[in-house]
Structures are given as C-alpha cells and as structure tokens.
Copies of this chain bind each other. A is one copy, B any other.
Amino acid sequence: MSKILTNRKDDYAQWYNDIVLKAGLADYSAVKGCMVIKPHGYALWEHMRDELDKRFKETGHQNAYFPLFIPKSFLSKEAAHVEGFAKECAVVTHYRLKNDPNGGGVIVDPDAKLEEELIVRPTSETIIWNTYKDWIQSYRDLPLLINQWANVVRWEMRTRLFLRTTEFLWQEGHTAHATRDEAIEETKKMLEVYATFAEEFMALPVVRGVKTANERFAGAEDTYCIEALMQDGKALQAGTSHFLGQNFAKAFEVTFQDKDNKREFVWATSWGVSTRLVGALVMAHSDDEGLVLPPKLAPLQVVIVPIFNKDPEAKAKINNLAAELMATFKQNGVRAKFDDDDNTRPGFKFAEYELKGVPVRITLGARDMENNVAEVARRDTKEKESITLDKLATHAMQLLTDIQSNMFQKALQFRNENTTRVDTWDDFVRVLDEKAGFVSAHWDGTPETEEKIKELTKATIRCIPLNNEQEEGKCVLTGKPSKERVLFARAY
C-alpha cells in the first residue's frame, strides 16, 4: 500500500492539508480564500452542530435568523467594534448585472448602485442589536436568549482550510439581560457548554480562560475562551464567549423598563464556535494514516468488511452474520455499514476507512469464521483482536466507549506533557523553540510587555486560566512583579 499522506514529523502543515483533502473533508474553490466543505467534512460539522444545538436548547436558547447584509453605517456605531471588524469585509455596492453591450458577457450595471453599501456580516452584533431595540421594552422581555447558525465572511489574506477561511460557518449566540451579573453568568455558562462539548464529544481537552485586553473581542468588556493544544505544540482557540457590557445597548439605544419603572440599558453577551473546530479535531487526534475520529462524532462508527472467497456457502454465512450485526447496531443507535462492494479489494477498503477515521472495523473472513472468530481493529491504537462471533457486537460497542475515553486521555496527557512552567526569559524562548506547547509564565500585566513578547517570540497570551492559582512571581520579560501565571503559546 503506497503512502497516502505526508508524515507529521516531516511536514506538519502539509500533513494537515493532505488529510483534509484526501479524507474528503474539504476542497479549494474557485473563489480565493473560500473552501468547499465536502460530504465527510460536512457530516462532522453536522454532528457538532446537532450536539451543540441540543445543548443550547437545554440551556434555554432559541434559534433565529438575521440578515446576511449589514448596512455600512451600523458597523461604525460601536467604537471598538468598528476598529476590529470594519476592515477586511466583503462590500456589496451594486444590485444588478446587465449584458455587456460590447458582447463580453455580463457587467455590473452602473445604474444599480446602492445608496448605502452593504457589508456581508463578519459577525452580527450590530444588525441583531438594531433588531433587539424593537423586541425589548420591559424586564418581562428579558432575558432574550437567541442563537443563530449562519455563514460569515472576513476577508483573509492568508487562508488555511477550516482554520482560517474567508467564508466560514458558525453559530453566534446573542443574549440580552436585565443585570450585569446575569449577563456575566450567561457568558460563563456558555463557555462551560463549549468546554464540556469539546471534552465529552470531541475528546478535546481545553483550558478555560479569559483573554487579555489585547486579545479581547472588539466591543467586549471580557472575552472568555477555550484553548486547545494541537499535536505540533501550537495552541488553537476553539471557542469564545463575550461579556459585552452595555456597549451595544448604548450604541443601538436598547433600553428596558425595569420593575421600578426606570429605563435602563440592556446587558449583553455573545458567543460562537465555527467550522474551525473541524480543523482542531483533525490536528488534535489524527495520525500518519489519516483521520482518527472520536466515536461520538464519527459519521460512521463501525464498518464491517467481508473477505469473500468463492465458496457460496461461506459467503452466505458472512452475509448472514453481517446482517445480524447490522440489526444489532441499528437497534443500539450505532452508525454502522456493511461494505460488501465486490469490486474493491479488502486491503484498499482498510486503507480507505483508516484514512476516513472510522473508529472500529470488523473483518469477517471465511477461515476465521470456521474458527468461530473475527478480527476487530480499533482505529485509535491500531490494535487488532480476534473476537468470538457471539461477542462481536458487544465488543465493538464497548470499544466505541473505550476509544472515546482513550482519545481524550491521550490528548490530555499530551497537553500535560506539553505545558511547561518557566521562570526565566532564556527558558521561555528555549521551550517555545525546542518543545513548543503551552508555556506557563509570569507576566507583568501590561499590554506593552505582551506585545513585546509577541514581537520577540511570536507567542501570545492564550488566556489567563479560570480559577488560576495566585502566586507571587516576576514577569518573565521585565522582571516586574506578578500575581499569577498566564498561558503563552504560538497559535493558529
């Protein structure tokens, strides 16, 4: 079997691209910076979406949908927001094409110029708070707990499939509250929803933390985040939850009458995760043979591959057993497939399902079956076992549970091994260069030092972990006093 992918250790970036393209997750498109999400990649996103959506609804949120376009003037209304978002945007200036009078196809009709340009949403705070103005009158209208599943566009110069694309899919929650405390509680609650989703469902351990002022969302008072570690030792921000204070309420004049008949500005949060999570999933778990998918997220959890010989009786036995297994799996909600395609050799199928990350493979061979056994292979460790036929289904289902937990433990161990406490500048630079991973170090708390460290090492403060241990120390760069360590890393 020839090697399908570049090895991680030879070229991690190329390995990632190889996997995304060859496992059928995504493809480049004719539009610069935009990708095509292929069926296997979209199925992963669908599973993430469905699970998150369930968790959002369980915490009282409802879905809605707001316009793709935002009037240009809206972006200017919140001072910090405009700095952060009114930059690299797709701008709609015209609303009609016409046939080129010179016969050169279609051209933009100069008579169809918009009075005010429309921006393709890079995020929806402005259009949503402009709407909330009409929806919120009284404390009885609060809290307003709304989420949107949508596409957004941020014009990116350097793009990478899933990790940074001009258009991406995401969800954005936008909630409105009567008090500051309630809004902060919501911000933290949704961060925890993201964190438990990442850990329980994606088998991805994350650090829960809060961003420094430099890294805050444009328009937020505080940005909470979950940060994950990839196999090359770089960090990846996997989700953010923002406490927006009253900034957007003030910008869009959204007030409510409280119980004492006083008018107050509304408190806000917003929170989002995106198709970037698919990239995180690949980078955190996969190997040189292809994707390794956590069973809870795998579109296909178990595949049954027959090794047919020419004996029709043996073939019938295999088919019968496969049908039995498929029935059991269906009954137990296991996503399984019996791949009895005669035109493809088993070895080719093995490689294909490995590439696509199917957690469990059962091979039904005539000779094995005479001995009342079949081979069961798990994708995460590539271990194979010979299992007696009557235990096949239960064994496979137990494996799904084991793989889910093993993948999380493995990633957690990796993160622990790659989180290094350092106390000197030399160690800081050396660890970043030689080992990478998270570097836990003291920092003097100033944006200037943070900026300087980034300039010197390309490392940023990923977060100040929540419930952080308080400890006297000295800033790793300036030597000034510090009360806690923060997490640095180079990041995607």
Indicate with 1 or 0, residue by residue over A65-91, a CB within 8 angstroms of chain B CB atoms: 111111111111000001000111111
Indicate with 1 or 0, residue by residue over A21-51, a CB within 8 angstroms of chain B CB atoms: 0000001011100111111001101100000
Closest chain B residue to A106 by CB distance?
A: B86
A228 at the interface (CB under 8 A from B): no
A167 at the interface (CB under 8 A from B): yes
A456 at the interface (CB under 8 A from B): no
Indicate with 1 or 0, residue by residue over A131-173, a CB within 8 angstroms of chain B CB atoms: 1001100000000001000110101000000000001010000
A337 at the interface (CB under 8 A from B): no
Q: How far is the CA of A93 from the CA of B151 in the complex (A)?
A: 19
A241 to chain B, nearest CB (A): 21
**Given known A39-B146, A75-B97, contact A69–B167 (CB-CB < 8 A):** yes
**Given known A39-B146, A92-B90, A95-B91, contact A31–B169 (CB-CB < 8 A):** no
Number of interface residues of A (CB under 8 A): 62
**Given known A31-B69, A39-B62, A62-B43, contact A97–B106 (CB-CB < 8 A):** no
Task: Please tell me if the beta carbons of A66 and B29 are within 8 angstroms of each other in the complex.
Answer: yes
Task: Please tell me if the beta carbons of A108 and B134 are within 8 angstroms of each other in the complex.
Answer: no
A215 to chain B, nearest CB (A): 22
- A150: chain B residues at CB < 8 Å are 151
Contact with A94, one of B68, B82, B93 (Cβ below 8 angstroms): B93
Q: How far is the CA of A35 from the CA of B67 in the complex (A)?
A: 7
- A34: chain B residues at CB < 8 Å are 67-69
Task: Please tell me if the beta carbons of B67 and A29 are within 8 angstroms of each other in the complex.
Answer: yes
A431 to chain B, nearest CB (A): 38
A358 at the interface (CB under 8 A from B): no
- A423: chain B residues at CB < 8 Å are none
Task: Please tell me if the beta carbons of B95 and A92 are within 8 angstroms of each other in the complex.
Answer: no
A320 at the interface (CB under 8 A from B): no
Interface-forming stretch among A116-124, A386-394, A440-448, A473-481?
A116-124
Q: How far is the CA of A96 from the CA of B89 in the complex (A)?
A: 5
A279 to chain B, nearest CB (A): 15
A196 at the interface (CB under 8 A from B): no
User: How many copies of this chain sit in the oligomeric assembly?
Assistant: 2
Task: Please tell me if the beta carbons of A38 and B67 are within 8 angstroms of each other in the complex.
Answer: no
Task: Please tell me if the beta carbons of B97 and A119 are within 8 angstroms of each other in the complex.
Answer: yes
Indicate with 1 or 0, residue by residue over A250-281, a CB within 8 angstroms of chain B CB atoms: 00000000000000000000000000000000
A64 at the interface (CB under 8 A from B): yes
**Given known A34-B67, A106-B72, A106-B82, contact A89–B93 (CB-CB < 8 A):** no
A63 at the interface (CB under 8 A from B): yes
A369 at the interface (CB under 8 A from B): no
- A4: chain B residues at CB < 8 Å are none
A422 at the interface (CB under 8 A from B): no
**Given known A92-B91, A93-B94, A96-B155, contact A43–B69 (CB-CB < 8 A):** no
- A106: chain B residues at CB < 8 Å are 72, 75-76, 82, 86
Contact with A134, one of B27, B66, B69 (Cβ below 8 angstroms): B27
Closest chain B residue to A126 by CB distance?
A: B30
Task: Please tell me if the beta carbons of A65 and B93 are within 8 angstroms of each other in the complex.
Answer: no
Q: List 15 A-B contacts (CB under 8 A).
A: A27-B131, A27-B135, A30-B130, A36-B67, A37-B66, A38-B64, A43-B62, A45-B65, A46-B63, A72-B108, A76-B105, A87-B97, A90-B92, A91-B92, A151-B151
| A interface with B by C-beta (< 8 Å) | 27, 29-31, 34-39, 42-43, 45-46, 62-76, 82, 86-98, 105-106, 108, 117-120, 127, 130-131, 134-135, 146, 150-151, 153, 155, 167, 169
The 10 closest A-B pairs by CB, nearest first: A76-B105, A34-B67, A39-B62, A37-B65, A91-B94, A95-B155, A86-B106, A93-B93, A31-B67, A86-B97
